[in-house]
Chains A and B, each alone.
Chain A
Amino acid sequence: MSLTSLTAKELGKKIKEKEISVKEAVNDTLDAIEKKEDKVNSFVTVADKDALLKKAEEVQKKIGEGTLGGPLAGVPIAVKDNMCIKGLLTTCSSKILEGFVPSYTAEAVKNLEDAGAIVIGKTNMDEFAMGSTTETSAYGATKNPWNLDHVPGGSSGGSCSGVAAEECVCALGSDTGGSIRQPSAFCGVTGIKPTYGTVSRYGLIAYGSSLDQIGPVAKDVTDCALILETISSYDRKDSTSMKREGLDFTSALKDDVKGMKIGIPRDYFGEGLDGEVSQAVKGAAKVLEEKGAVLEEFDLGLVEYAIPAYYVIACAEASSNLARFDGVKYGYRAKEYEGLHNMYKKSRSEGFGTEVKRRIMLGSFVLSSGYYDAYYLKALRTKALIKKEFDKAFSKYDMILGPAAPSTAPKLGSSLDDPMKMYLGDIYTVSVNLAGLPGISLPCGMDKKGLPIGLQLIGDCFQEKNIIQAAYAYECTREYRHSPLSDVYQVGGRR
């Protein structure tokens, strides 16, 4: 059995107890990637083996000396390719960042490295995190480890498929409109999008700055809590970073939901939700009720306005954030051009993919003279109303429960031709980003096709512990299902 079938915590423990060495963990991970990468394509870049082994040695030494004693010391981790890492190719899965090697490391990754985790490589994603399928990558689509004809979801598809395929034990993703929670659901793994401002965005290549958050992707709630605890920090380099309390997320890993009030929005179970998904999510709610949680259905309101508001805001910010990719300072420059503006246009038109161009165009349009009030300001006002709806809900409930996505993973190639349909798939996730809330997605069943279904728990701002505790309690009633690409996969999904 490969070590990648373990959880991060289990692997860290074996390393700490000298049952295995950091080198073995690294080698095993590299072997797993080598063996499975042809099938799933989770990675854009795998770090250089010699450099990794050297780092493994350093970490091993520090563990020996006792200077590194945390649970993630020596644990290999994969990082979504929109986080800058010094000396490591960073592409955002775009041709326009061809060959870009940053001179700085994202704060979240630095926090991991300080804890002794070893970055094994950069995972594939939708280009600039724009997409819900990981098919818009310039480096080819990623496949769903449960069924290679299906998408892994997106945009953190590579991180989620990597964990599900057991190429690595855990990963970092980023979530702007559901990009951690939705692919986690599709791949049968667990992912958290923390409260906005909890994890520094320094070094995260921006898509929608007011919505982007980095978060963990792992096999279980425990690993997610552990990783989130490690990457969260107040960072002076990020003005939107929050000085906040209660970052000891692992303290919430308690199998106890007695008296917890859980609101279930009727609006999340209406038209458009797949029947099997609905059933599985309701089943999960029932489990929590049986464990002592108090469930109540309610009307959340404004659910249908979240997607239009989200696309206006995200695309507007993206049109500005992605202006810097112009062929002057880094990345791709067109080979032939006439003059400055032609150089800009050609480099950008050749460097960006269709979906990115689509969103940049829309974003430029909604900010342009004469449309700013009608679109952009209106979207910001809608965002304020949506936040209010959530505030109202959280005055009554400790958390909100619902699906992470309206269906299980669609087939490869079935989404790109109808972008509107793809955007509508974000219905249960985007409002969480608009309101800055934390959300967790974890497996709660399989559909008849054998594809995982995800349960989403949404917490109030800064109340990650509530959703972590409930998710943990739910998880305690279930056993982890390894995907067909796992070494320990068994038909029927049991270990």
Chain B
Amino acid sequence: MANQISDDTIEYVGILAKLELSPQEKERAKKDMEEMLDYIDKLNELDVSGVEPMSHVFPVNNVFREDIPTDIDGSKDALFNAPSVKNGGFEVPKTIG
């Protein structure tokens, strides 16, 4: 296998993705990611130099909204599904910053 995913990399990706894996899951994730990356490395066979990366298939530009407010109180809908509500807001563990 060409790609080697280290423990540190899996740990790091877990931090980025906010996922906590068990030791077994980590081993599996390493193997899966290595396999996928090996397969993705197939793209290296292609000469893509000079090719513009294509994010959108269609060259559509300038889709805008006019600056006109709709004034509806959205708080009830916003909070309806919240797992934990306090004082009209979404409750989260204490966060400073």
Contact = CB atoms under 8 A, between A and B. Distances in A.
Q: Do chains A and B touch in the complex (CB under 8 A)?
A: yes
A420 B48 contact: no
B46 A385 contact: yes
Contacts of A291: none
Contact of A381 (B19, B36, B54, B56): B54
Interface in B41-97: 41-46, 48, 51-58, 60, 63, 65, 77-78, 80-84, 90, 92-95
A382 B13 contact: no
B17 A308 contact: no
Nearest to A367: B16
Nearest to A352: B19
B58 A436 contact: yes
Nearest to B76: A103
B58 A196 contact: yes
Contacts of A331: 81, 83
A357 interface: yes
Nearest to B17: A364
Interface residues of A, number: 69
Contacts of B80: 101, 103
B46 A305 contact: yes
Interface residues of B, number: 49
B26 to A, nearest CB: 10
Contact of B92 (A302, A328, A345, A419): A328
Contacts of A327: 83
21 contacts: A103-B77, A103-B80, A197-B60, A210-B55, A210-B57, A242-B58, A305-B42, A305-B43, A332-B83, A340-B95, A345-B19, A349-B21, A360-B19, A362-B32, A365-B13, A368-B16, A420-B35, A420-B36, A423-B39, A435-B57, A461-B57
Given A381-B54, A387-B57, 18 more contacts: A101-B80, A103-B80, A240-B60, A304-B42, A308-B41, A308-B43, A329-B81, A331-B81, A332-B83, A340-B92, A345-B20, A361-B29, A362-B36, A381-B51, A384-B53, A385-B48, A385-B51, A436-B57
Interface of A: 99-101, 103, 196-197, 210, 236, 239-240, 242, 302, 304-305, 307-309, 311-312, 319, 323, 326-333, 337-341, 343-346, 348-349, 352, 357-358, 360-366, 368, 375, 377-385, 387, 419-420, 423, 434-436, 461
